[in-house]
A and B are shown apart, each in its own frame.
Chain A
Amino acid sequence: MRRTYLGEFEEMILLMVAILNGEGYGVTISEALAEHTGRIVTFGTVHNTLIRLEEKGFVTSELGGATAERGGRRKRIFRITALGNQALQEIQQLRKNLWLLLPPDMLQPGNV
């Protein structure tokens, strides 16, 4: 399979979608990102990244779940796909392997 590149921010967003597990849409993803990483970004950034992730096939989306708070408008709810899951796993595996290659003394805090 062609390896699709996953950027750092994309990876974060993808992780948030995975964490929210079926509850993820624009607002919750932005809030989770702020909560877990402290990053405050514009809504457009999140929106664009989600569309890009969907184009790459890492997430799927469907419309649903209108509430009064949003004036009866539907949400676009994102779910991670098997491909997205695999991509996250691969990244994690790659990191693990790379960490194992580090010289042992580098792991000591203060030596970096």
Chain B
Amino acid sequence: MKSPVQPPRWARWLLSRLHPDNTLEEVTGDLDELYTYWYKRSGKTQATLRYLLNVVSVIPPFVRRRNTDKQYYQQPDYRPTLSLKSTMIQNYLKIAFRSLKRQKVATSINVIGLAIGLATCILIMLYIQDELSYDRYNEKADRIFRVGLMAKLNGEDVGGPMLGPNAARDLQQEIPEILKATRILKGGEFVSNGTSSFKEDNLLYADSNFCEVFTIPFLKGDPKRALTEPNTVVLTEETAQKYFGNQDPVGKVLLFSREKIPHRITGVVRNVPTNAHFRFDMLVSSPDDDEQHIGWMYSINYYTYVVLPEKFNYKQLEAKVTRLAERQIGGELQEFLHLSPKQFREKGNDFGIFLQPLTKIHLYSTFGGTELTPGGNILYVYVLMAIAAFMLLIACVNFMNLSTATAVRRSREIGVRKVLGSVKRQLQHQFLIESVLLAIAALIVGLLIVAISLPFFNQLTGKTLTLSLLTNAFVATGLLVGTVLVGLLAGSYPAFYLSSFEPVAVLKGRITAGRGSFNLRSGLVAFQFFITISMIIATVTADRQLRYMQAQKIGFNREHVLIIHDTQMLHKNEILFRDKIVQSPLVITASISGQVPIGNSALDNTPVMSRENPDKAVMSRFYKVDDEYIPTLGMHVMQGRNFSKNSSTDSSAVILNETAVRALGWQQNPIGKELIGHIDDNGVKTYYQVIGVVSDFHFESLRQKIGPLVMFLGGNSGNILVKTRTGQLPQFLASLKQQWESFSPAAPFSYSFLDDRFKQVYVGEQKIEQVLTLFSGLTIFIACLGLFGLATFAAEQRTKEIGVRKVLGASVGSVVALLSRDFLKPIVIALALASPVAWWSMNQWLKEFAYKVTIDWWFFAVAGLLAIGIALLTVSFQSIKAALTNPIKSLRSE
């Protein structure tokens, strides 16, 4: 019989869901009674409100649970047995070792899978840690900012990290918040200590307060006074060793450049850490400012850094800095271009300066080639983090799958334990301890893998990572705790699943996992193969692109071309040297030119105009060459002729490439047309006549489109390009070196081969391909482990079925097919999902290249077939084993 007034149903439903079962009846009854009482006294609303309040007071976490165990109330001193007593733990460990030993294959697969996941994770973490640690070694790292130039000219971004020489001084004088400002100028110089000379590429000119801004530990010398005098130099340990061996270099003198200017050594510092955005072998005191050309916008070559007060928000400074820049740069624009900043901006141009935190330069800077060292990319850091997380996740999932699959074999043990009085929690502890044990074993193996693979990884990434980070107490505990957590997580499913078996069912040999858990596993396998197939497609695409680029017709012949560097150091003897080289029977031709078609990617384009249309500027690359250049590099002259030594007018002649001809608008017969190649400060134009056209050739990497190119005769110096016949190259090089030294230049003899430099250009792409191959290999391996676990599990589940089928006459083949068929489905789904994703992302990647392959359908076919093949191989191992088992064994127990 029901009471006339009823509390809201949903509130009672809430109570019935959340209140502990064993006191639900009396509490519901009591609350109903109270509701009726309140209803009568103060009406429905009041009653409902009170009812709600009181319902809340009897649901977790407020409610106290009533202990059902009758004994608990009768014996005050009774305490339940702790399942984590030391004797029990000993027993768990013993059983764990025994069962792991008994299932050697399963155990080792499980450990190796997790170990690889952990190793990948650790390696990637090391890499990311290194990327994130850039410049943090500076004591003032958080207070140092770099001042860069923002500038737009004709809609093009021409800003960069550098400013003119005066910016630092002005900033420090005008803005009180800027405590210090210092500049770095990148340089390269031929340096000799009297007996031997070296080309020093890693040389920085620095202001005297450089060492006060950056943390540079001095081994010898006084950091405060080291760079105060002109023509002083500070060496790194390594450089000091190179020039002076173990002698004390302080006070000694080095001779710079071909004028042999003496520089006194005032200090020795530690080598610059690899995680710094600048690197130097020598620090040279800044040269005196050239009084004529000073300012912010003139000779923009100085990297300018400022130090701000502690805990100062640099954004507050931006307005002040902008005002100062507006005044200084604006003034210079007025002076040089006779334009006010407003007029300048109205033409679609823009300028300004910005502050960049020191610690963000490495990962966030977008200036690429103009940086002091090639930067990293925050995007790669995120992608790698995602990969690390995926790998770890997949490894954990597999670990879980395999543990569950193998643990099912131990159902009898669980049954016996339960019958002997073990409670759920004890079994859970047992399995958790086992899986933590396995995880720790995997961590040890993983660390071994890291230690072994670190040199290769360093080679691949070009870093010098060490394991020293792992010995840091904080990191080590983190790793251990993380691993234990992974163990607990991975072990939790088997632990809770297995401990919930009914002992009677287990002992009768009747346990089956629900269909649902099988579907979950299939989903996980599909996910793994989704990643695997995407990786395979990416690898194939990267490989095709690399091959395509290397096989491209580049428009000139790069074989057997030797390049001798720095020949400008020979002065007038440069031509003499060339003439001597040509006399060798091994040499076909030799040419002097500053420009080599590969490897220099400085964006020094210069405008040229056709005579007919002087307002339309075409930004072109200038090559200064001699008459031997085109034959030496085997370029093809399409129209007109090459430069000639005998023609006196050729000094005002040019040869264009096809792109330049098109850009200048000369469709037919460009020969004889004239272009404006130079306009001096007074507006006087110099005209050049076109005498020939060469077919387009790639003068940079295939990432860029071929741009317009203009070749001039003369003014060339810097390299000698030698086309050789194959033959005794070592002897030839030795004789070249001898001849070189006979001129006693300030520079050492150095050379390279054109095809080597060509390969160098694609090192980046090669690395991407290697990394992709590595990761796709790893994901394939890990996905196979997952599949293996699933196949083992399925075969285990269907033992009886297979037995019955075999008794009824099924062949081994049909049983194998039966077991394998289930696994094709997730892979086909994965293929269908992965194809568009991989296609899209690889197209994004290919966008960087001006000349690229198209992604063909067979890429997907290859990836799919590969995945299916590998999967079938993995599964068949288990299914054949299951199919070959004698049915008596599986049916005996019934």
**Of A8-16, A25-33, A91-99, which binds chain B?**
A25-33
Within A40-81, the residues touching B (CB, 8 Å) are: 42-45, 47-48, 51-52, 54-55, 57, 60, 63, 66-76
User: Contact between B57 and A27 (Cβ–Cβ < 8 Å)?
Assistant: no
How far apart sit A51 and B66, CA to CA, in the bound complex (Å)? 6
Answer whether A27 and B33 are a contact pair too, CB < 8 Å, given A48-B63, A68-B3, A69-B3: yes
Report B358 CB to chain A, min CB distance, Å: 58
| A43 and B54 within 8 A (CB) | yes
Which of A2, A25, A52, A68 interacts with B26 by CB under 8 Å? A25
Residues of B in contact (CB 8 Å), total 30
Map CB proximity to A onto B843-885 as digits: 1 under 8 Å, 0 otherwise: 0000000000000000000000000000000000000000000
- Smallest CB gap from B2: residue in A: A71
Are B26 and A26 in contact, CB atoms less than 8 angstroms apart?
A: yes
Interface centre among B1, B26, B53, B73 (most CB of A within 10 A): B26
Does B336 touch A at the CB level, under 8 Å? no
A27, A54, A63, A69: the one within 8 Å of B73 (CB)? A54
Q: Is the CB of A73 within 8 A of B57?
A: no
Q: Which residue, B30, B57, B58, has most C-beta atoms of chain A within 10 A? A: B30
The answer on a CB contact under 8 Å between A45 and B57 is yes
Report B1-31 CB contacts with A as 1/0, cut-off 8 Å: 1110000000000000000000101111111
Give A2 to B76 CA distance when docked, in angstroms. Answer: 10
Within 8 A of A (CB), among B761-784: none
Asked if B57 and A70 sit within 8 Å, CB to CB, the answer is: no
With contacts defined as CB atoms under 8 Å apart, how many contacts are there between chain A and chain B in the complex?
A: 89
Residue of B nearest to A4 (CB): B76
Residues of chain B within 8 A of A43, CB atoms compared? 27, 30-31, 34, 54, 57-58
- Any A CB within 8 A of the CB of B472: no
Residue in B1, B26, B54, B73 whose beta carbon sits within 8 Å of that of A75 in the complex = B26
B64 adjacent to chain A (CB < 8 Å): yes
A30 engages B32 (CB within 8 Å): no
- Taking the complex as formed, is B67 at the interface, i.e. its CB lies under 8 A from any CB of chain A? yes
With A27-B33, A47-B58 as contacts: A73 and B73 at CB distance below 8 Å: no
Closest to B31 in A: A43
> Is B456 interfacial (CB-CB < 8 Å)?
no
Whether the pair A73, B32 counts as a contact (CB closer than 8 A) is: yes
Residues of chain A contacted by B271 (CB below 8 angstroms):
none
Contact A76 B23 (CB under 8 A): yes
- Kindly report which residue of chain B lies nearest to residue A54, judged by CB atoms: B73
State the CA gap A31–B3 with chains docked (Å).
20
B31-52 toward A: CB 8 Å interface, digit per residue (1/0)? 1111011000000000000000
Determine how close the nearest CB of chain A comes to the CB of B292; give it in whole angstroms: 88
Residues of A within 8 A of B474 (CB): none
Contact A44 B62 (CB under 8 A): yes
Q: How far is the CA of A54 from the CA of B26 in the complex (A)?
A: 15
Interface size of A as a range: 20 to 34
How many angstroms between the C-alpha atoms of A51 and B76 in the bound complex? 15
Given A70-B3, A74-B26, residue A42 in contact with residue B53 (CB < 8 A): yes
Q: Are B1 and A72 in contact (CB under 8 A)?
A: yes
> Which residues of B from 48 to 99 have beta carbons under 8 Å from A?
53-54, 56-58, 62-67, 72-73, 76
Q: Which A residues are CB-close (under 8 A) to B3?
A: 68-71
Task: Report Cα–Cα, A42/B64, bound state, in Å.
Answer: 14
Do B57 and A74 touch (CB < 8 A)? no
Taking a contact as CB atoms under 8 Å apart, the answer to whether B63 and A26 are in contact is: no
A70 touching B29, Cβ below 8 Å:
yes
Most buried by B among A30, A45, A47, A69: A47
* Docked-complex contact B29 and A73, CB < 8 angstroms: yes
CA separation between A55 and B34, bound complex, in Å?
A: 25
Smallest beta-carbon distance B757→chain A, Å: 81
Task: Determine the distance from Cα of A47 to Cα of B20 in the docked complex, in whole angstroms.
Answer: 12
Q: A45 — which chain B residues lie within 8 A by C-beta?
A: 57
Query: Which chain B residue shows the least CB distance to A43?
Result: B54
Partner of B76, one of A27, A47, A57, A68: A57
Q: What residues of B have a CB within 8 angstroms of the CB of A68 in the complex?
A: 1-3
> In the complex, which residues of chain A have a beta carbon less than 8 angstroms from the beta carbon of B56?
42, 44
Q: Given known contacts A43-B31, A43-B34, is B58 in contact with A73 (CB within 8 Å)?
A: no
Once the chains bind, are B64 and A25 in contact (CB under 8 Å)? no
- Measured between beta carbons, the chain B residues less than 8 angstroms from A42 are 53-54, 56-57
Q: Which residues of B contact A26 (CB under 8 A)?
A: 26-27, 30
Shortest CB distance A31–B (Å): 8
Contacts of B58 in A (CB 8 A): 43-44, 47
Residue of A nearest to B62 (CB): A44
Contact indicator B32/A71 (Cβ below 8 Å)? yes
Contact B53 A75 (CB under 8 A): no
B27: A residues at CB distance < 8 A: 26, 43, 47
* Least Cβ–Cβ distance between B660 and chain A, in angstroms: 88
Shortest B242–chain A CB gap in Å is 80
Residues of B within 8 A of A27 (CB): 30, 33-34, 37
- Which residues on B sit within 8 Å (CB–CB) of A74? 25-26, 29
The verdict on A47 contacting B23 (CB below 8 Å), with A42-B54, A71-B3 known, is: yes
C-alpha spacing A76/B29, complex, angstroms: 10
Which residues of A lie under 8 Å from residue B28 when comparing CB positions? 70-71, 73
Interface contact A44-B57, CB-CB below 8 Å: yes
Q: Do B73 and A57 touch (CB < 8 A)?
A: yes
A31 to B58 CA separation, bound complex (whole angstroms): 17
Q: Please give, as numbers and ranges, the residues of chain B lying within 8 Å of A25 by CB-CB distance.
A: 26, 30
Beta-carbon nearest neighbor of B65 in chain A: A51
Q: Mark B573-617, 1 if CB is under 8 A from A, else 0.
A: 000000000000000000000000000000000000000000000
- Asked whether B57 lies within 8 Å of A69 as measured between CB atoms, the reply is no
Please name all residues of chain B whose beta carbon is closer than 8 Å to the beta carbon of A67 when the two chains form the complex.
Answer: 33
B53 with A55: CB separation less than 8 A: no
Contact, CB under 8 Å: B54 / A69: no
Q: Name the A residues within 8 Å of B66 (CB-CB).
A: 51, 54
Taking a contact as CB atoms closer than 8 A, the residue among A48, A57, A70 that contacts B30 in the complex is A70
Separation of A48 and B37 alpha carbons in the complex (Å): 22
In the assembled complex, the CB of B700 is this many whole angstroms from the nearest CB of chain A, namely 77
Binary interface profile of B, 771-800, with partner A (CB < 8 Å = 1, else 0)? 000000000000000000000000000000
Q: Taking CB as reference atom, which chain B residue is nearest A70?
A: B29
| Separation of A29 and B245 alpha carbons in the complex (Å) | 96
Closest to B76 in A: A57
Residue of A nearest to B3 (CB): A69
Nearest CB of A to B366, in Å: 61
Q: Are B2 and A52 closer than 8 Å at their CB atoms? A: no
Q: With a CB–CB cut-off of 8 A, which chain A residues contact B30?
A: 25-27, 43, 47, 70, 75
Residue of B nearest to A2 (CB): B76
CB distance from B15 to the nearest CB of A (A): 11
Bound CA–CA A68/B36 (angstroms): 12
Interface-centre pick from A57, A66, A71 (highest chain B CB count, 10 A): A71
* B64 proximity list for chain A (CB < 8 A): 47-48, 51-52
Residues in B with CB closer than 8 Å to A73 are 25-26, 28-29, 32
Known interface pairs A42-B53, A43-B54, A44-B54. Does A69 touch B63 (Cβ–Cβ under 8 Å)? no
Residues of A within 8 A of B57 (CB): 42-45, 47
Cα A61 to Cα B2 with chains together (Å) = 26
Contact B63 A75 (CB under 8 A): no
Residue of A nearest to B34 (CB): A27
B residues in contact with A31, CB < 8 Å: 37
Q: What are some 22 contacts across the A-B interface (CB < 8 A)?
A: A42-B56, A43-B31, A43-B34, A44-B56, A47-B57, A48-B62, A51-B64, A63-B26, A66-B29, A68-B3, A69-B32, A70-B3, A70-B30, A70-B33, A71-B2, A71-B28, A71-B32, A72-B1, A73-B28, A74-B29, A75-B29, A75-B30
15 extra A-B contacts, CB within 8 A, seeds A47-B58, A71-B32, A73-B26:
A27-B37, A30-B34, A43-B31, A43-B57, A47-B63, A48-B63, A51-B66, A63-B25, A63-B26, A69-B36, A70-B29, A73-B25, A73-B29, A74-B25, A75-B29
List residues of chain A with CB under 8 Å of any chain B CB.
Answer: 2, 25-27, 30-31, 42-45, 47-48, 51-52, 54-55, 57, 60, 63, 66-76
Pairs of residues from A and B, 7 with the lowest C-beta to C-beta distance, nearest first:
A44-B57, A73-B29, A26-B30, A70-B29, A42-B57, A76-B26, A48-B64
